[in-house]
């Protein structure tokens, strides 16, 4: 595994080689920086085709290596076509008499000429059809899901075959599963009620971890650094927390002081306390989604900037230096990948623990 990570780190450090081609002229210096910035921006976003890398051809046009993905739009009816129609944003896609343009990784509905209208903040004002495309992110989510299914199904089967003793890669994953059970779930939720949260906690941990690790590979996917993905995970944590909340949880929410005070004493306090408690329900999962998103995005920006520096320095000192830095940051990012998965799982478990608390009301808080 570590060997694999090591190789993956080297690969991600080199992943930008293919796409950022340097121009030798003076003017190229400026456009190179702009290109790197654009590349990083582009990388951080989801994309409608699975591009592995692109090669600048002699005539200046880029040859993209990769494969197109299906585009599914809801625009007065279901539109389904291949993303190859966009030619990486270079051409308009015409479907059923409507024209769609790919602009900054978003699909806009345009006229036949492909005009994009902007407001004063330089935001496109064109109509955005509902986009349910199978994007690169969706593909990676699916691949990760499949990988997890095969991996843990295999582990489950190896138990049946070997009389409860794990085999092969299961020996690596079993302690992690046990750690999540003992030190995350049981420690935060309690022996009595942890069981029903286990599938979610285990899945969310490995899902985030694997996707974070995929983000370190030259596939260049940034799924966990996409706010829509983290938001979906946080929404699930939010729903699970509040749908499984016990009576005590809601009591604690709307009557935080309990019977320790007469009602006329509590009234002025509760005008402030209860809104805070209610806000807290939403802030907790929101902090989850922002934390994961920000950490992963920041990591990707830092690594890619350092890689980009190599092409800007173009010297025997600067480039190895930034390579070394990128390498070091990559190692840290591998740690962060695990850490963020742990934190997300840990905090989810903590919130589930709040939701499933049961105690005597005589007990002091």
Partner 1 sequence: MDKLIEDFSLGLFFWQLVLFIGLVLLLRKFAWKPILDSVGEREEGIRSALAAAENAKKEMQNVTADSEKLLKEARAEREAMLKEAREIKDKLIADSKELAKVEGDKMMKQAQAAIESEKKAAVADIKSQVANLSVEIAEKVIKEQLSNKDKQLKLVDDLLGDIKLN
Binding footprint of partner 1 on the chain (CB under 8 A): 45-46, 72, 106, 121, 123, 130-135, 137-138, 141-142, 145, 148-149, 152-153, 155-157, 159-160, 164-165, 174, 177-178, 181, 195, 198-200, 202-203, 207, 226-229, 231-233, 235-236
Alpha helices (H) along 190-262: 198-215, 227-243, 247-254
The C-alpha angle with vertex 356 and arms to 354 and 360, in degrees rounded to 5, equals 90
- Compare residues 129 and 258 and give the one whose CB is closer to partner 1: 129
Task: Select 68 or 311, whichever has its Cβ closest to partner 1.
Answer: 68
Closest CA to 351 of 274, 281, 291, 289: 281
Alpha helices in 15-135 (DSSP H): 26-44
Output 70 or 258, the one with its CB closest to partner 1. 70
CB of 13 to partner 1, least distance (A): 26
Choose between 154 and 256: whose C-beta lies nearer to partner 1. 154
310 in Cβ contact with 322 (< 8 Å): yes
Contacts of 129 (CB under 8 A, 6+ apart): 73, 74, 75, 79, 100, 107, 109
Q: Which is nearer to partner 1, 154 or 258 (CB)?
A: 154
Q: What are phi and psi of 73, to 5 degrees?
A: -120, 150
The residue among 77 and 199 lying less far from partner 1, judged by its C-beta, is: 199
Question: For residue 101, how many other CB atoms are within 10 A of its CB?
Answer: 21
User: Between 147 and 267, whose beta carbon lies closer to partner 1?
Assistant: 147
Side-chain half-sphere CA neighbours of 6 within 13 A = 3
Residue 20 CB, nearest distance to partner 1 (Å)? 23
Instruction: In angstroms, give the least distance from the CB of 29 to partner 1.
Output: 27
Instruction: Give the residue with the Cβ less far from partner 1, 204 or 334.
Output: 204
Taking the complex as a whole, how short is the minimal distance between the CB of residue 79 and partner 1, in angstroms? 13
Question: Taking the complex as a whole, how short is the minimal distance between the CB of residue 310 and partner 1, in angstroms?
Answer: 27
DSSP 108-146: EEE-TT----B-TTS-B-S---EE----HHHHHHHHHHH
Assess contact for 116 and 99: CB atoms under 8 A. no
CB of 58 to partner 1, least distance (A): 34
Provide, rounded to whole angstroms, the least separation between the CB of residue 229 and partner 1.
Answer: 5
3-class state of residue 74 by DSSP: strand
| Distance in Å, CB of 77 to partner 1, minimum | 16
């Amino acid at each position: 595994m570590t060997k694999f990570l090591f190789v993956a780190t080297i690969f991600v450090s080199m992943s930008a080689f293919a796409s950022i081609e340097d121009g030798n002229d003076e003017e190229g210096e400026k456009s190179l920086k702009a290109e790197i910035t654009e590349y990083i921006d582009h990388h951080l976003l989801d994309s409608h085709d699975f591009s592995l890398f692109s090669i600048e051809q002699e005539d200046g046009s880029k040859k993209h290596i990769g494969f197109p993905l299906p585009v599914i739009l809801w625009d007065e009816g279901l539109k389904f076509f291949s993303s190859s129609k966009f030619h990486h944003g270079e051409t308009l896609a015409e479907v059923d008499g409507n024209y769609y343009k790919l602009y900054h990784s978003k699909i806009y509905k345009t006229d036949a000429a492909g005009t994009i209208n902007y407001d004063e903040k330089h935001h496109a004002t064109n109509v955005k059809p509902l986009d349910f495309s199978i994007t690169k992110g969706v593909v990676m989510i699916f691949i990760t899901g499949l990988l997890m299914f095969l991996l843990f199904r295999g582990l489950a089967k190896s138990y049946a075959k070997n009389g409860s003793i794990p085999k092969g890669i299961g020996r690596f994953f079993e302690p992690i599963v046990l750690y999540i059970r003992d030190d995350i779930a049981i420690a935060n939720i309690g022996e009595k009620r942890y069981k029903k949260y286990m599938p979610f906690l285990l899945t969310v941990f490995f899902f985030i971890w694997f996707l974070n690790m995929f983000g370190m590979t030259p596939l260049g996917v940034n799924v966990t650094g996409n706010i829509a993905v983290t938001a979906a995970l946080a929404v699930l944590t939010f729903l699970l927390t509040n749908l499984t909340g016990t009576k005590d949880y809601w009591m604690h929410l709307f009557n935080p002081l309990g019977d320790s005070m007469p009602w006329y004493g509590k009234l002025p306090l509760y005008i402030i306390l209860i809104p805070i408690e209610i806000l807290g329900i939403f802030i907790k999962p929101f902090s989850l989604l922002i934390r994961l998103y920000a950490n992963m995005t920041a990591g990707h920006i830092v690594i890619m900037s350092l890689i980009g520096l190599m092409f800007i320095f173009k010297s025997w000192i600067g480039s190895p230096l930034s390579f070394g830095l990128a390498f070091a940051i990559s190692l840290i990012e591998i740690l962060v990948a695990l850490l963020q998965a742990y934190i997300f799982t840990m905090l989810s478990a903590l919130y589930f623990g709040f939701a499933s608390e049961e105690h005597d009301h005589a007990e002091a808080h």
